[in-house]
Structure 1
Amino acid sequence: MRKISEVLRQYHELKCSHRVIARSLNIGKTTVTRYLERAKAAGINWPLPQSMTEEDLYNRLFPSAVKVSRQKAFPDWERVYKELRKKGVTLQLLWREYRDVQPEGLGYSQFCTHYRAYLKATSPIMRQVHKGGEKTFVDYAGMTVPWIDPGTGEIHEAQIFVGCLGASQFTFAEATATQQIPDWIQSHVRMWEYFGGVSEIVVPDNLKAGVKKSHRYDPDINANYQHVGEHYGFAIVPARVYEAKDKAKVENAVGIVERQILAPMRHITFTSIAEINAAIKPRLAVLNNQSFQKMKTSRRALFEEIDKSALKPLPPEKYQYAEWQHAKVHIDYHFVFDDHYYSVPYKYIHHEVEIRATANTVECFYERKRIASHPRSYHRYKHSTIKEHMPPAHRAHAEWSPDRMKRWANKIGPHTMKFIDRLIASRAFPEQAYRACLGVLRLGSRYGENRLEKACAIANESGATRYSQVEAILKNKLDTVPNSHSTNTPVISSHGNIRGSDYYK
């Protein structure tokens, strides 16, 4: 996925530096600079027009007629440094290996110059200096807190979320039931409320709730977590895998929380998560108010002095957790979410869309643009259809008309045609029945038209109007079971050719 729009957002909205943006999106700093320069030359400002897609933005910045000069690829200096520590490895050997991969790369003299500059900028131990309101480090503690469900007697382990501001080390901690996405996101929401504002950057560990797929250079951020960042206006910069020093602040905070908050609670019996958080709250206040061992100040004092005024204000509305799914729009211009059918404008038929669902709303997005919104319905197998989404007189899909469905059904048999007719009549709009009609008629290819005709006869007798009911009849071979009670024996009237019962005495 191209990341041009995210570069513009972090630069204009979050006021991030080129270096921070490059690390957040795992792209080169020169790439960030090139994107911003081209956007400025093209007259593109933030926010982008709602109608502009990522593809449109790319075409504006990189017209096909313009040839972009190639930037020389730099080697991984950290790898060069490590390789030089091996016996027999020289800088010239590493340069030759580099040129084998990058024939148009740096010359040997430039290679040496850049490497010496790297050595000057690198020290064996680097002390990280954090600006006020710049970074928040988040992680889960290794220790858990047991609690007993009074109803079942089952013992559960509460997870402990810890967040720490980089400059003041002001700490937040709370207990949650799991480390899953909903708990992970709600802990962030409560953390920002506790801090009274939002930092520019959040540095999480590579747990699944935050990072879908960890990678040294290009981690894949969880979609829900990314939307939290966009809602609150912070950039997500995951720590490198197996590099605890990238999140040293929260590692230290986790240790302090375990020693000063969790360990003293080890003899308390809890019966709910709320009880655990009630016990954590006063202990957390003590932790933030106590003085550092080597500084005559406290976390709260530093927070009030450095971080509080630098944090960005909270958004007017609290983030509402949403589920994200991918779906496909079918020929009846509806997609399925949670066994309910929602409409979209008919021009998106056969397109892949992205679904965002909260407890009250279901939204549909195509190429990051919202194309439909519905109140969420929990009625299974029902339809939510907006008339404006329907094509005029359904000209675009006239071939899927009720008449065509009935003609196809009539070729199989009268019982099939009757079932299709009843199925279409059971929907608010005929178009909503097309998919089910196609499914029923295609059962003839799988089970044979004769069996389908018999199954539809049984369905008509029982009043069934759904595809799954006909399919169940065929799967269970109910159409092959003799049904003697439904067969009426004809009564023959008396005439001269009938011998009568006396003949057989």
Structure 2
Amino acid sequence: MNVLKPNQQATVYTLLERGTTQHQIARITGIDRKTVRSYQRRWLARDDRSANSPGVATGSEAVAAQTPPPRPPATTPVGAAAATSLCEPHRAFIEAQLRLKRNAVAIFQDLVDTHGFAGQYNSVKRFVAKLRRKEPEQFDRLSFMPGEEMQVDYGEGAPTLVPGSDKYRKPRLFVATLRYSRASFRCVVWKSGQQVWAELHERAFRHFGGCPQYVVLDNLKEGVLKPDLYEPELNPVYAATLKHYGVVADPARVRDPNRKGTVENAIGHTQATALKGKRFESIEAQNTFLANWERNWAAKRIHGTERRQVQAMFEEERPHLKALPLMGMQFFKQEQRTVCDDSCVRIEHSSYAARPAAIGSKVLVRIYASRIEIREFASGALLRIHAKAERPGTVVLPMQERVFNPSRETRHILRQAQAIGEQASRLCKLMFAIEGRVGQRKLWGIVGLTKHYPAQCVETACAQALAQGVYSYTHVKELTKRAFEEAATAMQAARSPEGGAPASAAAPNVPALTQQHSLIRQADEYADLFDLATTAAAAATASAEGGQS
């Protein structure tokens, strides 16, 4: 009890003598109600002593002697009805408002405004408090089969020295508990994340020597990206880890920690018994201590509810756990990327081909230790797999998928020149060797001559240019045109009735052409074509000269 000053004591006694309630005294004087109650007991005990032993009254006692004794509390006569609250006629309205989650102040205001309520707010407050009393909530005891469920959660470990400093900080305490046997795996980490959360589950599975069917967790971001009562969205790394080990996640409902009460109790037991009042110089030292404590004490204890040893129940549960896979989980980091205009995605300063994903679309990228997986954004279907580049700036893009590349264009031109003939291929290679990539324009021009002249004429012109040492597209074009005209003249002379020199004699530099082939038409058809072209050209020339005059 707090000791009050004499003037405060006199004030309290005076108010008590006047019949003031404890609540009013506390409100007037600012003294705690518990202190007022203690002094009231003193005052009552002193009054009893004064009544039994006559004497001279002084101070507040004299005032009390002159003041008539307080009126005894009213008693309800036998058979009379108890006092009824003024709110009782409005019970239905008040209950309806409470179901709407309205408070006593709002209900009192509505009663005054719309129902003509004549009582005070305190009457409404007391009535509402009685209606709000609920029966204690009942919880069912859940029973599980061996190897059926494991519960996981985070707590706080003991203060640990932060590396590189002289400060102590509490790391995160991960606890995984098998629901049937209550055997637990405990580990502390400095930081948590998607991969750390999945790695801790993998370590727990290997600690128990097997996997349960289900794992129950709350809705922390490392495990659940989007909480939902029906279809919660799991973290992709966590989901892939559970799929690798054949375990199904069963997230608890939001704000429902009682669903995983076993691991909650395990965390509290660890903090209160093993780590209470301890400090560690490193995270490794704390993990070693937890492993020894679990083996020597926690596993050997008699469980309070089951009244059996935890280790004995775990040995009974161990054969029911699912076998571990031969290989551990290959962890990855999943990110979202946009396909650039070169049909690649940028990952860690390198470019990787993303086709058949369209340019500008979004894809999911899984970054493993030694490979890159590109998946469709909506369905997660696998599109491409690439070996991870060792050097930043690497472009992993096959040549056939590139839209344009100077070196690829050069090879394409040279292949077309080789299709024309040996001399054309030789001339184009020589011109590219002399002028480099800039000379590709001339190469395109030489290859493009085959669109207007026979390939044999282009090949003959290239042979003449090589012999003359003139490496020019314009010169090759003139030679090709001349060779074509000479070939046409020789063909006309060969089919004329007067006869004439053979084609080989008319054009000694032009090799003999193939005359008989399934793809070659008759010479008369070619002659008609040439005559038509000559007539059209002469008409165009005459028209142009007439316009100028």
Q: Give the TM-score of the pair, scaled to structure 1.
A: 0.51
Structure 1 unaligned spans of 5+ = 1-85, 90-122, 406-421, 425-505
Query: Could you tell me the percent identity over the aligned residues?
Result: 25
Aligned length: 280
CA-CA distance at 1:358 after TM superposition: 1.7
Give the 3 Å change call, closer, same or farther, for CA 267–247 of structure 1 in structure 2. closer
Residue 267 of structure 2 aligns to a residue whose secondary structure is: helix
Q: How does 1:374-393 map to 2 (within 5 A)?
A: 374-386=386-398, 390-391=400-401
1:343-358 equivalences under 5 Å are 343-346=353-356, 348-358=358-368
Considering only aligned residues, what root-mean-square deviation do their CA atoms show, in Å? 3.2
Q: 1:250-286: per-residue Cα shift (whole Å, max 9, x none)?
A: 11111111122221xx33331x211111111110112
Instruction: Point out which structure has higher relative CO (alpha carbons under 8 A, 6+ apart).
Output: 1
- 1:304 aligned to 2:315? yes
Alpha-carbon separation, structure 1, partners of 2:339 and 2:325: 33
**Do the aligned residues in 1 keep the contact of 2:357 with 2:363 (CA within 8 Å)?**
no
Q: What is the CA distance between 1:295 and its match in structure 2?
A: 4.1
2:245 and 2:265 mapped to 1: Cα distance? 26
2:186 paired with 1:176: no
Mean CA deviation greater in 226-235 or 295-304: 295-304
Give the counterpart letter for 1:267 in structure 2: K
Work out the CA distance in 2 between the residues paired with 1:224 and 1:337: 18
User: Is residue 275 from structure 1 mapped to residue 285 from structure 2 by the alignment?
Assistant: yes
Q: Are the counterparts in 2 of residues 363 and 373 from structure 1 also a CA contact under 8 Å?
A: yes
> Which deviations, in whole Å up to 9, do the C-alpha atoms of 1:60-97 show, x marking residues without a partner?
xxxxxxxxxxxxxxxxxxxxxxxxxx9469xxxxxxxx
Q: Which position in structure 1 is the counterpart of 2:147?
A: 133
Inter-CA distance 137–313: structure 2 relative to 1 (3 Å threshold): same
Return the alpha-carbon distance in structure 2 between the equivalents of residues 127 and 243 of structure 1: 15
After TM superposition, give the deviation of residue 386 of structure 1 in Å: 4.3
Distance in 2 between residues matched to 1:134 and 1:246, nearest whole Å: 15
Task: Answer whether contact 1:177 1:183 (CA < 8 A) is retained.
Answer: no
How far residue 206 of structure 1 moved from its aligned partner, in angstroms, is 1.1
Distance 1:247 1:326 in 2: 33
Helix, strand or coil at the partner of 1:186: helix
Matched-pair contact (CA < 8 Å) for 2:367–2:373: yes
* Cα distance in 1 for residues equivalent to 2:146 and 2:306: 18
- Could you tell me which residue of structure 1 aligns to residue 495 of structure 2? none
Give matches, 1:15-414, under 5 Å: 87=95, 124-141=138-155, 143-149=156-162, 151-263=164-276, 266-270=277-281, 272-285=282-295, 286-305=297-316, 307-346=317-356, 348-366=358-376, 367-386=379-398, 390-391=400-401, 397=403
Counterparts of 1:255 and 1:317 in 2: how far apart (Å)? 34
Instruction: Kindly provide the CA deviation profile for residues 411-469 of structure 1, in whole angstroms up to 9, marking residues without a partner as x.
Output: xxxxxxxxxxx999xxxxxxxxxxxxxxxxxxxxxxxxxxxxxxxxxxxxxxxxxxxxx
Distance 2:151 2:437 in 1: 57
**Aligned CA distance change for structure 1 residues 343 and 313 (closer, same or farther; 3 Å):** same
Q: For residues 88-138 of structure 1, give each alpha carbon's deviation from its aligned partner in whole angstroms, at most 9, with x where no partner exists.
A: 69xxxxxxxxxxxxxxxxxxxxxxxxxxxxxxxxx9431111111111100
CA positional deviation for 1:151: 3.1
> Using the alignment, how far apart are the partners of 2:278 and 2:265 within structure 1?
24
Amino acid at match of 1:373: I
Secondary structure, counterpart of 1:308 in structure 2? helix
Question: How many Å separate the matches in 1 of 2:179 and 2:437?
Answer: 63
CA distance in 1, matches of 2:167, 2:246: 40
Assess, with a 3 A threshold, how the Cα gap between structure 1 residues 295 and 125 changes in structure 2: closer, same or farther.
closer
| Cα distance change, pair 127–296 in 1 and its aligned pair in 2 (3 A) | closer
* d(CA) in 2 for partners of 1:293, 1:196: 25
State the distance in 2 between where 1:337 and 1:212 align. 23
1:177–1:314: structure 2 CA closer, same or farther, 3 Å change rule? Answer: same
CA 1:155–1:375 in structure 2 vs 1: closer, same or farther (change >3 Å)?
A: farther
CA distance in 1, matches of 2:239, 2:202: 13
Question: Who wins on radius of gyration, i.e. which is larger?
Answer: 2
